[in-house]
Chains A and B, each alone.
Chain A
Amino acid sequence: MKPNEQNFSKSRRLKNQIKAVVTNPYNVIVLVAIILLTYLIVFPLVDMLATTFKLAQRDLRSVPGGVAGEFTFYYWQRLLASDMSMNLLIKPLMNSLVIGAGVSVCAITLGSVLAWLMVRSDLPFKPFFSLAVIIPYMIPSWVKSQAWLSMFKTPRVGGAPGFVASIMLKAGMSTETIETVLAPIAYGQIAVIIVLTLHYYAYTYLLVSAALNSINSELEEMGEIQGASKGLILRKITLPLVLPAMLSAVILTFSKAIGTFGTINYLGSPVNFRTLSSELYSNNRSQNTQTAFAMAILMICIASLSVFINQRLIGSRKSYATIGGKGGRSTPIGLAGWKPLITLVLIVFFIVGIIMPVMILIVESCMMTEGTYSLSNFTLYYWIGEGNPNIMEGVPGIFKNSNFKLSLWNSLKLTFVNGVFGTIFGQMLGYICAKGRGTFHGRLVEQLVFIPYLIPSVAFGGIYLSMFSKDQTIFGVTLIPALYGTFALLTLTSVVKHLPFASRAGTSNMMQISGELEEAAAIEGAGFFQRFVKIVFPLSKGGFISGFMLIFVSIMKELDLIILIMTPTTTTLPYLAFQYQNQNCPQASDCVAIVMFSIVFLVYALANIFGDADLAKSMAG
């Protein structure tokens, strides 16, 4: 027993403790953050889970003696253990897993090879390649699917033939032959995997190249001095060091691929290829909310499992890259005789995989009827046409179209508002995560913020739609009025869904600011807000800009997330394109996609030139 333990005042202790908590703005911010995150993330999740156990009015007939709103296992039983399970769950689930695994393997391989070539080899034209390589990130996957269809569409399934089919027709092949040859490529599993690979390899590329950049080439040179061959060095030194980055790319790709919906809708639906996410969408659309949510929960479980496995695999290796990241010297590795061949392959890859889709879209947007490749068929109608009752039911070209103007305005408004709020919240949460490393509240915030990442976009939109369609009340006081059909709901959904990315960007940004810089200011007497304004903010400006850009790009092309929330007045560009495509007017859809892509590209270029911002910086960390 220490002497000072007997004589102290308990009331003074309590007073001091309360004072310390209340007068520290950091604590207040953490508290507000935790309350908000719980309300916006945990509540919806619990609400979703509860919904799957509650009998809906419309299903009363299927459940003898059931009472609406009562507890039931009906939906889970129907999904997991009934005659319908096979069609409702097992098949789509298998398809989802095949897509997820296939895309992961292909995208990781492609992305890692490209990253290595770009960072560590003496490949020529690097500046050009390194720009070309991230363009796919800026083209949404549904636009790529559209391009894929324009290329390979067969004449039988809905409307005009694609580019390849037209050539084959001209060559005198029969429709049946074309169908048998082209259909397996044009639609279904293979098509989805290829298109998604071309989309998601960018994630691997960004993460792995960041990791490779941080490896001191002396580590590889040491291997060379020991007499190891290039292949051995790659396998025994380089690969293990970037493995953590590759594994995080795997979960990112896997969970995105199984959650994707747009591509499945474009490329899968013609041959009735369904995945969990497309089932989820159609169930949600047809008011089968309970089944849709049960599926969403299964998808969350799959995503959580993949994250868990990933964490077990990475374990203590997580910090490799930073340990090696001290010395910045990097000597490129010679490709020797392979150089011309590899360069050629890459150029072909970029032409076929990146430039061609864009070109196809541009060409197709200027064709009166698709699939007819003659000069007389070219027109700017879909861009600037006045509205001809014979074409597209009289809908005018997009620049004359009030729908388009509204969508453009909505998209810009949404991305801008989201970019601003998302970045601010992201950086604040990042600050909490970075400063609270190892503490309970730090971990809690980190975990809470991560949850939206696990929820498939379509399902996330569904939850918010059902939750905020009615007034949100607490003890009879209306906190938030019903938001259905409002811009606010769109904003809220997008901001929360993108929090994991935004706060990750924020965390890695804040981690770069040494705690001592703030402590030095604290010793000088600067309060919390003074420190934030004078030290933290000026030092993290670059991160703010790249965080903003990341959110901007990602929301501008977002379709899956907001597709369920859309109402005629809140339409955005991706949704408009989606609508045109479903109305069988791909040209107009192409026009919209091109406009959207141009905006994304422009913003990226501006941010790069003025902000010195880097996508990879906010992705890694």
Chain B
Amino acid sequence: MSKIVLTNVDKFYGKNHVLKNLNLTIEDGDFMTLLGPSGCGKTTTLRVVSGLEKPQNGSIHMDGKEIVNAAEAYFAPPSQRNLNLVFQSYALWPHMTVFDNVSFGLKIRKESSDVIAKKVASALERMQIGEYAKRYPTELSGGQQQRVAIARAIVSEPRLLLLDEPLSNLDAKLRVDMRSELKRLHHETGTTIIYVTHDQVEALTMSTRIALYRKGELVQVAPPLELYDNPCNLYTADFIGNPSINFIKGAAQVTEDGMTVDSAMGQVTFARADMTPQAPKSGRVEVTLGLRPEQLTISRTRDDEHRVEAHVYSGMPAGSETLVTVRVGGALVTVKELGSTHYGSDETVYLSFNAKKANVFDTASENLIKYCV
């Protein structure tokens, strides 16, 4: 239950500039996910917020109170920030039982033993690991250790919970279970959560907002669906979505009313109202069409004059859906179709898409110039 504001934060490791003038606001009650490929600075952001790392520049405010002011060399110690952290490795103390691990912080704060017992019991119960209180971490499975780590973090009811890739060491099924549990935890406690992951599915399914990183810089901060529908540039569009978005090169004639794009997908016209402020006002521009695989429809017959001819490269039926890769002009395009259909290699098919849903990017600046509506 707190609002965190990072202002102009810079972090260097030696000469390595890890966070570059970072500005990020995390609203009270947010489930904010820091997303990006490895080495892009998301964990560093988390550690800077937690107080384990000291940034060289910038300031951080928590509920209006300054906790970091690099210019004045002021860094509040982690324990005074009323937050807790779940490490990727869990960092459970191997020489302490589950109970001792979870109660450690409460004992440091000199709470009375009945309060400790009650709080620990409730935290363990919430994570459904009450019966393991007397065990040592090594006697637990990975999933159980994960629950202990979370119980340890929530037992002191922090206002801010930091999670550093907590699910990356779990197997696929457990990961899906824990996702829904974390989401439920967020809902029940209302705690502000900052969650670090490189897994875009985790980010899209759990967050209220996502901050996407690239090489120490923020690229886009938006709610999951907005990020998915209207990625602000080619990088975001490519990072978000599985299977990935299709990029098709084309050329556009821009006028005041909108633009007409010629590409392997035929000629399409977009209205000015759907275009972003970054879009040019007139002239010829090289553009890239961004088409999500599920926005494309595939047909064996040319039932519509807008359909373009394509040849099947490979078909991959997966029960509930079928992914088909087809060759259109010089490009390979992936199409996602519900249900299972078998396509033979080199079979001729016809594609079409809803122009309203398509994204268009300026190839030179890589920025989005036409929204999906």
Q: A residues touching B (Cβ–Cβ < 8 Å)?
A: 2-5, 8-9, 12-14, 16-17, 20, 514, 516-517, 519-526, 530, 534-535, 538-539
Contact A8/B71 with A523-B83, A525-B79, A539-B94 known, Cβ cut-off 8 Å: yes
Closest 8 CB pairs of A and B: A524-B105, A525-B79, A516-B91, A8-B71, A16-B73, A520-B91, A17-B73, A13-B72
**B59, B83, B104, B109: which has the most chain A beta carbons within 10 Å?**
B104
- B152 cross-chain contacts in A, Cβ below 8 A: 520
Say whether B369 faces chain A, with CB atoms less than 8 Å apart. Answer: no
Give me 9 A-to-B residue pairs in the complex whose CB atoms sit less than 8 angstroms apart, sorted by A's number. A4-B8, A13-B71, A17-B73, A519-B91, A520-B85, A520-B93, A523-B51, A525-B109, A526-B104
Asked if B71 contacts A5 (CB within 8 A), the reply is: yes
Chain B residues closer than 8 Å to A517, beta-carbon distance: 91, 93
* A14 partner residues in chain B, CB cutoff 8 A: 73
A535 CB to nearest B CB, Å: 6
The answer to whether A523 and B73 touch across the interface, beta carbons within 8 angstroms, is: no
Chain B: minimal CB distance from A519 (Å): 5
A208 to B51, alpha carbons, bound, how many Å?
Answer: 41
Q: Do B72 and A2 touch across chains, with their CB atoms under 8 A apart?
A: no
Tell me which residues across on chain A come within 8 A of B74, comparing CB atoms: 12-13, 16
**Is B87 a contact partner of A519 (Cβ separation < 8 A)?**
yes
CA distance A592 to B74 in the complex (A): 63
A2 and B20 CA atoms in complex are apart in Å by 12
Chain B residues near A535 (CB-CB < 8 A): 93
Q: Given A520-B85, A523-B50, A16 and B91 touching (CB < 8 A)?
A: no
Closest residue of chain A to B57 (Cβ to Cβ) is: A2
Q: Which of B36-57 contact A (CB under 8 A)?
A: 50-52, 57
Cα distance A13–B71 when bound, in Å? 7
Q: Is B95 an interface residue (CB 8 A)?
A: yes
Docked CA distance A535–B91 (Å): 11
CB distance from A537 to the nearest CB of B (A): 10
Question: Is B89 part of the binding interface, using a Cβ–Cβ cutoff of 8 Å?
Answer: yes
B7 within 8 A of A: yes
Which chain A residues lie closer than 8 Å to B83 at the CB level?
523
A539 touches B95 (CB 8 A): yes
What is the minimal beta-carbon distance from A301 to any residue of chain B, in angstroms?
32
A8 to B58, CA, bound (A): 11
146-193 of chain B: CB within 8 A of chain A? 152, 156
Indicate whether B75 reaches chain A with its CB closer than 8 angstroms.
yes
Report if B197 contacts A (CB, 8 A).
no
Kindly provide the distance from the CB of A59 to the nearest chain B CB, expressed in whole angstroms: 51
A521 touches B104 (CB 8 A): yes
Give chain B's interface residues, CB within 8 Å of chain A: 7-8, 21, 50-52, 57-59, 69, 71-75, 77-79, 83-85, 87, 89, 91, 93-95, 104-105, 108-109, 152, 156
The answer to whether B73 touches A4 (Cβ under 8 A) is: no
**Closest-CB distance, B326 to chain A (whole angstroms):** 40
Beyond known contacts A16-B72, A523-B51, A524-B108: 15 more, CB 8 A cutoff = A4-B59, A13-B71, A14-B73, A20-B75, A519-B87, A522-B78, A522-B79, A523-B50, A523-B84, A524-B79, A524-B84, A524-B156, A535-B93, A539-B94, A539-B95
Q: How far is the CA of A325 from the CA of B73 in the complex (A)?
A: 41
Per the bound structure, the CA–CA distance linking A396 and B83 in Å amounts to 73
**CB atoms of B69 and A8 under 8 A apart:** yes
Complex: chain B residue closest to A538, CB-CB: B95
Q: From B7, which residue of chain A is reached at the shortest CB distance?
A: A4
Cβ contact within 8 Å between A523 and B85? yes
Whether B73 contacts A522 by the Cβ 8 Å rule is: no
Inter-chain contact B108/A530, CB cutoff 8 Å: yes
How close is B290's CB to chain A, nearest CB, in angstroms? 34
Cβ–Cβ < 8 Å partners of A514 in chain B = 89, 91
Partner of A526, one of B57, B71, B84, B108: B108
Q: Are A516 and B87 in contact (CB under 8 A)?
A: yes
| Chain B interface mostly | mixed
B94, A523: Cβ atoms under 8 Å?
no
Within 8 Å CB of A534, what residues of B? 104
The CB with the most chain A CB atoms within 10 A, among B71, B87, B94, B105, is that of: B71
Q: Could you say which residues of chain A place their CB within 8 Å of the CB of B89?
A: 514, 516
| Contact A522 B52, beta carbon cutoff 8 Å | yes
Contact B87 A4 (CB under 8 A): no
B352 to chain A, nearest CB (A): 50
**Contacts of B79 on A, CB cut-off 8 Å?**
522-526
Q: Return B150 CB to nearest CB of chain A, in Å.
A: 13
Q: How far is the CB of B325 from chain A (nearest CB, A)?
A: 34
User: How far, in angstroms, from A17 to B71 measured CA to CA in the complex?
Assistant: 11
Among B59, B95, B156, which residue has the most Cβ atoms of chain A within 10 A? Answer: B95
Residues of B near A519 (CB, < 8 A) are: 52, 85, 87, 91
Minimum distance in angstroms from B100 CB to a CB of chain A: 9
A519 to B7 alpha-carbon distance, docked (Å): 25
A485-B261 Cα distance, complex, nearest whole Å:
96
Instruction: Name which of A20, A516, A523, A535 has the most chain B CB atoms within 10 A of its CB.
Output: A523
Q: Which residues of B contact A16 (CB under 8 A)?
A: 72-75
In the assembled complex, the Cα of A526 lies from the Cα of B156 at a distance in Å of 14
Q: Are B93 and A523 in contact (CB under 8 A)?
A: no
Task: Kindly identify which residue among A3, A12, A526, A530 contacts B72, using a CB–CB cutoff of 8 Å.
Answer: A12
Give bound CA distance, A530 to B50, whole Å.
20
Smallest CB gap from A537: residue in B: B95
Residue of B whose beta carbon sits closest to that of A12: B72
Which of B69, B72, B84, B108 gathers the greatest number of chain A CB atoms within 10 Å? Answer: B72
Name the CB-closest residue of A to B21.
A2
Identify which of A522, A524, A534, A539 gathers the most chain B CB atoms within 10 Å of its CB. A524
Task: Looking at the assembled complex, report how far the CB atom of B59 sits from the nearest CB atom of chain A, in whole angstroms.
Answer: 6
CB neighbours of A516 from chain B (8 A): 87, 89, 91
Distance of B302 from chain A, by nearest CB (Å): 53
- Closest A residue to B69 by CB, please name it: A8
- Expressed in whole angstroms, the Cα–Cα distance for A568 and B7 within the complex equals 71
Residues of A within 8 A of B93 (CB): 517, 520-521, 535, 539
Kindly state the separation between the CA atoms of A20 and B73 in the bound complex, as whole angstroms. 9
CB-CB under 8 A from B77, the residues of chain A are: 522
Say how far A503's CB is from chain B's closest CB, in angstroms.
23
Q: Please, which residue of chain A has its CB at the minimum distance from the CB of B88? A: A516
How distant is B250 from chain A, measured CB to nearest CB, in Å?
Answer: 40
Smallest CB-CB separation from A438: which chain B residue?
A: B14
Contacts of A4 in B (CB 8 A): 7-8, 58-59, 71
* Set of chain B residues within 8 Å of A20, measured between Cβ atoms: 73, 75
Complex CA–CA separation, A411 to B146 (angstroms)? 51
Contacts of B104 in A (CB 8 A): 521, 524, 526, 534
Q: Contacts of B94 on A, CB cut-off 8 Å?
A: 539
Chain A nearest CB from B21 CB (Å) reads 8
- What are the residues of chain B within 8 A of A5 when measuring CB–CB? 71
Distance in angstroms between the alpha carbons of A284 and B21 in the assembled complex: 63
Residues of B within 8 A of A2 (CB): 8, 21, 57
Q: How far is the CB of B162 from chain A (nearest CB, A)?
A: 9
Nearest chain-A residue to B70 (Cβ)? Answer: A4
What's the least CB distance linking B22 to chain A, in Å?
Answer: 12
Asked, given contacts A526-B104, A526-B108, A539-B94, whether A520 binds B72 with beta carbons under 8 Å apart, the answer is: no
Q: A520 to B84: give the CA distance in the assembly, Å.
A: 9
A9 cross-chain contacts in B, Cβ below 8 A: 72
Shortest CB–CB separation between residue A435 and chain B, in angstroms? 13
Closest to A524 in B: B105
How far in angstroms is the closest Cβ of chain A from B156?
Answer: 8
Query: B24: shortest Cβ distance to chain A, in Å?
Result: 15
| B108 CB contacts on chain A under 8 angstroms | 524-526, 530
